Structure 1
């Protein structure tokens, strides 16, 4: 019954399109052969497309699983933020692994640099260059908005006396990019994911050893970074390829003293 209903709806849609295409005042001419063609196309569309229409990308079929780790990290970091244990842990790290270098400032970008390097040498990930770049930019921007909004709202003092400690921005960025590596190459080999997350964890530990953050900041930052990337992959429309870019037009405009560029997408 559902199959016949789907075909009927598609047939009605086809008829509406044909009616709308006819000139005003002219009777609609629809031969038996044309009717059969529309019916066959409707049936083929129903059989081949409807069942995958809303689930084209694997990221939308995994349910809540991708959000478990980010949720645990954010919850753990938030709980530790209100606990005296964070002071004890930071004292232990400072006593045993004190660090004063600047490598953490550069290592936070390492997972994303590795993704583009793999693309450059011909090892292709899940998405093409256009979609990968769009996802990376959106993930970075969303993560930045979340982190710095929380920094201003919480205004936690850093171990070294600075301000805006919670959550860790360096850690959130590196985990956001590590999550991109996991999405793009994780199914090809688990070692891509292991390498990216190891780099991210190293940056988090370096931030603690440097006295720039509490352990609670690092845990929450890691979760926020992973969550930002997951949300971007979930909502991304995957239209940054040549097939879709050809539908874009950019042209200048001038209205009085106002001048600029107009971006138009033809559907």
Structure 2
């Protein structure tokens, strides 16, 4: 397929920033707030911009249509693996910790960060969906832009990368590979356009970055006197809808 290379180049470029950032320290040290690094915003900002431009650009709309047509011509069977894979990257953080591979933060801090990122991402995606009025490729609804599944997956991939970047960048690479696969399957299953996926990926990455930057403020404001926490993080499915459930006790 002539456009598959374009898809892979656009999506897998997301993983390159893992190695670009490896030598830079974004750790939350001694409760100090992090200063955003402009270079770390280039990829998510570019992806979001690509998606927004695609709302009006005839060329990008034609590219979206070409990709949809090529996928429709060559793919007969749909796979709903993206309904599960969107949660895999961030759940991997908790799984690795349970297996004894400790990340950057304890349960309390990483859950506050994840909850913050999820709130930012969810609020952003749902607000834009309600106002963008973009029809899905399968014609089922007009809330295609941006892709929530992809945003969730890339939010988790960045979360996994940040927690384990000092141990090995390959954890982040694996997370981004899963997130990229999630984005691809959203197009494969005729649920999203390439521009939806690109914007979702950018929103997901940016949401996690913001969550890490503001974490010291949130922790000091709401959790300063709470030393320990127990709880669980898990996706839920009620037969029609899927989401994230976070339960904590202090």
2:104–2:163: 8 Å Cα contact kept in structure 1?
yes
Q: Deviations over 1:18-59 (max 9, x none)?
A: xxxxxxxxxxxxxxxxxxxxxxxxxxxxxxxxxxxx975688
Q: Which whole-Å CA distance do the structure 2 matches of 1:123 and 1:117 have between them? A: 9
1:137 to 115, 119, 144: 115
Matched, 1:67 2:67: no
1:29-108 matches, cutoff 5 A: 56=30, 60-61=34-35, 63-82=37-56, 83=60, 84-97=62-75, 99-108=77-86
Evaluate the alpha carbon distance shift between residue 111 and residue 59 of structure 1 in structure 2; reply closer, same or farther with a 3 A threshold.
Answer: farther
Structure 2: how far apart are the matches of 1:243 and 1:231?
A: 20
- The answer for unaligned runs of 5 or more in structure 1 is 1-53, 249-267
- The runs of 5 or more residues in structure 2 that have no matched partner are 1-27, 230-250
Q: Would you say 1:153 and 2:154 are equivalent positions? A: no
Deviation at 1:71, TM superposition (A): 0.4
TM-score scaled to structure 2, two decimals?
Answer: 0.71
Q: Deviations over 1:234-267 (max 9, x none)?
A: 1012748x9831599xxxxxxxxxxxxxxxxxxx
C-alpha contact (below 8 Å) 2:108/2:228 kept by paired residues: no
CA distance in 1, matches of 2:110, 2:52: 31
Q: Across the two proteins, how many residue pairs are aligned to each other?
A: 194
- Measured at CA, do residues 208 and 229 of structure 1 come closer, stay the same or move farther in structure 2, by a change above 3 Å? same
**Structure-1 residue corresponding to 2:197:** 218
TM-score under structure 1 length normalisation: 0.67
Aligned ranges for residues 149-228 of structure 1 at < 5 Å? 149-163=127-141, 164-228=143-207
Measured after TM superposition, the shift of residue 101 of structure 1 is 2.0
- Name the structure 2 match of 1:235: 214
1:137 positional shift: 1.1
Which of 231, 239, 245 aligns to 2:226? It is 245
Name the CA distance, whole Å, in 1 between partners of 2:97 and 2:132.
39
Instruction: Compare relative contact order (CA 8 Å, sep 6+) and give the higher one, 1 or 2.
Output: 2
Mean CA deviation greater in 229-238 or 161-170: 229-238
8 Å contact kept, 1:94–1:210: no
Displacement after TM superposition at 1:94 (Å): 2.7
Query: Could you tell me how far 1:112 is from its partner in structure 2?
Result: 1.1
**What is the RMSD of the two structures over their aligned residues, measured on CA atoms?**
2.5
- Offset at 1:97? 4.3
